[in-house]
Structures are given as C-alpha cells and as structure tokens.
Structure 1
Amino acid sequence: MADADELLTVWASMAPPEGETWSLARPGPALDAVAARLSSVPRSFLDDDVSIRALSGDIAGAECASAAYADDARVRRGAAIGLWLLASEEIVEPFRPSLAGAWALRAVDSLGLRVAPVVDPLDWLADDERREEAARTFLLWAGFVPAGEDRATAQALWQARDSLRRSSALAEAYAAYEHREEIARRLAEARAREAAARYSSE
C-alpha cells in the first residue's frame, strides 16, 4: 500500500492548479443528488477483486490514472465509487447536466488519488460530511459547482470539508509539492517562449 504522500504527489503532478479549476467550474448537478448516488454504490464496485482498469475501460472507454495504483484498496475503492457515479447515469438516471465529459476521469482520479489517501472511501458511505466532501470534490474536478451555489460559496464549503486541509502535515507537504509543480510549469512556459523567440528571430 502506497503512503498518502506518494499518492497525493501523483495527484498533484497530474491535476491542474486548483484556482484554475475553480475559475472554469460551471453550474452542475445538485449536490444532494450526487451524494445520494454516491451512497448507493453497488457492492460489486467495492469488491476487492474489481479491476479498475477494466471498469474504467467499460464505463469511460479509457483508463483512469488511478488504475496504476489500484493495488491500494483505498485508491481502488475511491476510483470505483467515482466510476459508479459515471455509470449510474445510464443505470439509474442522468444527472442534469451530465457528469460525462472531458474531465470525467480526472474527477474519478480526484477521488482515488486525492481524497481516498486521506479518508477511507468506506467512510464516504457511512458519514454524511465525508460523503459531501467526496461529492463536492468529484464535482469540482469534473468542472462543476453544485447547482444553486456560486463559485465562492462552493469553494468555501468544499474547503471547510476538505480532509486534506484538515490534516496539517499532509496539507503542508501537498502545498509545497503543488508550489514546486507550478514553478516548474512556469519555467517550462518561459523556456518555450524563449525558444520560440529565438527560432522566430533566426
């Protein structure tokens, strides 16, 4: 089983900056609907033998990043619950608007690689606050704010429930890694601009 820091590092390396994600978020499904659906995940999705690679392929037509870490039970369960949210649109009924889209697998990975290392996914099923945290996290990384909430309200409510922020040691490590990733992105952009300027002047 990977430690939480390692999994959070994987998430931070693949996720866009949180602020950018909030700025692009648009009105989405009702939080209560997503949380209720999350709590109704079928047992087959939580089975220890479930293959996240196969499940992701069947539901989304592509492999989620969490599949590479699915030997960790937390990641496997978190990703499976996220995949259930996507699959449930055909099995139960569609959300309005639909969760399917360009960022759907990123939302699955947010549960598997960002939330699950900090809070066991089985707690999402038993505890209302943890379930709300998972639902809000999924919606955010799928590109949505809950229906009826503006971005500022949604962000404040998510941050108040975010277990990663509550765990000061993990939050500090994650923030430091996120900062390094942002610096690396900016340096790469600057180098690309510099190379383009040199190339165009030759």
Structure 2
Amino acid sequence: MTAPHGRTGRPPLTEARKTEIRREIARAAVDLFVTQGVTSTTGEQIGRAVGLSARTVWRYFPSKESCVTPLFSEGIDTIAAFLREWPPGQSLEEAVGRWLVAAPGIAGGPDRTTVGALVRLTRTEPGLRAVWLQTYDEAEPAFARALAERAGLPPADLRVTIRAAMFNAALRAAVEHYAWRGDHARGERTSAETELETTLREALAVAAEGID
C-alpha cells in the first residue's frame, strides 16, 4: 500500500529523540576518549558504540571532539532558570545552597565522575578545550538575560554583563578545580557529588564578594 501523499520510509525523528541520540553519542565518545585517548578514537568507533554509522554521527556533530558538547552544556538552562528565580533580598550563597539541595544531583546533569574525567582531558586535548570554553562562552549571554530579567535591567546593561561574566567564570573555575585535583576519581559517586557541590558553593561565594 502506498503511504499517504506518496511518503515512504521511516517517520522523521522527534526533537526529543534527536536530543537523546546526541546524548548517547556524547556518552559513547567520552567513554572512548577516557579509555583510549582522543587521538586514537574514530567516528566509526563512536558510532559503533551506539549502533550508528560514522556518517550519522557527523550529521549530529562536526567533529569527534564536539561530540561531547551535550555533556558540557547540560544544566545551563537549569542554571539560567535558577538565576531568574533567585529571590530578591536573598544572598547568592543562600540561594545556591537551596538550589543545590532541591536539584537532582547538580542541575540534573550527567554523572560527576564522567564530568571530572572529561574536564581533565581538556588540559591536554586542545580540541576538547576549545569545545569546553565555547560552551561557557555561549552560556554567558543566557546568564546575562536571566540576571537582567531578575534585576529589571536591559541585557546589554554593563552591570549585568559583568555580573554574568563573574558568575560564568566562577562556575567554570569551580568545575575545573574539582576535576583537576583528581582525588575524587577514586571515591564513591556520593562523595564526588558532595565535593563538587562544596567547590561550587565556595567559588560562587567568592564571586559574590566581588573585587575588593
């Protein structure tokens, strides 16, 4: 029987399924990067790990290093929402404390051990470092919009721009400090969660103090 309107083949993927495929590719890529190195990993190996062809992998990502983008960027929308909902009159430290208690894990993102292993690779892999920094570069305007909305200021206001930059830098510095120390890599997942939460609290407290 001919399909309606002459259409044949598989139905198009939903956006939710595309997002899930991107996550599957990202997790396969980081597993391979950690176990055998970025240089030794190919698009064919990444695709094979999730039952896809290398050609399909390249439809989703322009390079093997960029395959990990979803693991870097997960949680940015949640953090932006946290900034918008940050109650007036409440200190950043208090707000972050409540957010970390309420959030599943931290911002609902991937496993902390996975993040730590991936971020450690950015020290020696320039391609991954570029993807890591680009993620934070793209996050900053989202943070600025959230802070502007909270303060009733235009997103282009210099005060908003500086606050978003400080918040963004504090987040990145905290995750890198957590990852590059390496001690947590041998611990339990629960202790890794606690250590990263503590580091985030400390970093954002310093950022809230501003520059003396």
Same fold (TM over 0.5): no
**In terms of Rg, which structure is larger?**
2
Structure with more contact order per residue of length (Cα contacts < 8 Å, sep ≥ 6): 1
Compute the TM-score of the two structures, normalised by the length of structure 1. 0.30
Compute the TM-score of the two structures, normalised by the length of structure 2. 0.29
